[in-house]
Structure 1
Amino acid sequence: MSEPQRSRAVFSSEDFRLIRNAIAYYVREVQDDPEASKYANLYHRLGRVG
């Protein structure tokens, strides 16, 4: 039997930085929206990843 192939990362560290910056910008734009806190939480979670 052959070994299963290793999975490849979908996003690079650079991608996480770019996504995090985009979310930070979006959070500032929609800060009065009730959904803004969800994006702020996502921003912080991405900070732990990348």
Structure 2
Amino acid sequence: MREPQRARAVFSSEDFNLLRAAVASYLKEIQDKPESVKYANLYHRLGRVS
């Protein structure tokens, strides 16, 4: 029986930096809306990853 292959990363560390910059830009546009809290949390989580 063959061993399962190791999972490969989907995103690189550079991708996380790009995503974080995109979320920061969008966050400025929606800062007064209730959903901005979710995007702010995402922004901080992306900062921990990269």
Superposition pairs of residues 13-28 of structure 1, within 5 angstroms = 13-28=13-28
> 1:49 Cα shift?
0.5
User: Any unmatched runs of 5+ in structure 1?
Assistant: none
User: Any unmatched runs of 5+ in structure 2?
Assistant: none
Q: What one-letter code is carried by the residue in structure 1 that aligns with 2:14? A: E
Partner of residue 40, structure 1: 40
Q: Give the RMSD, CA atoms, in angstroms.
A: 0.6
Given the alignment of the two structures, is residue 11 of structure 1 paired with residue 31 of structure 2, yes or no? no
Stretch deviating more after TM superposition (1-10 or 22-31): 1-10
Q: Determine what percentage of the aligned residue pairs are the same residue.
A: 72
Q: What one-letter code is carried by the residue in structure 1 that aligns with 2:24? A: A
Q: TM-score, normalised by structure 2?
A: 0.94
**Corresponding residue pairs, total:** 50
In 2, the alpha carbon distance for the partners of 1:2 and 1:48 equals: 35
Hey, which bits of structure 1, 4+ residues long, moved more than 6 A? none
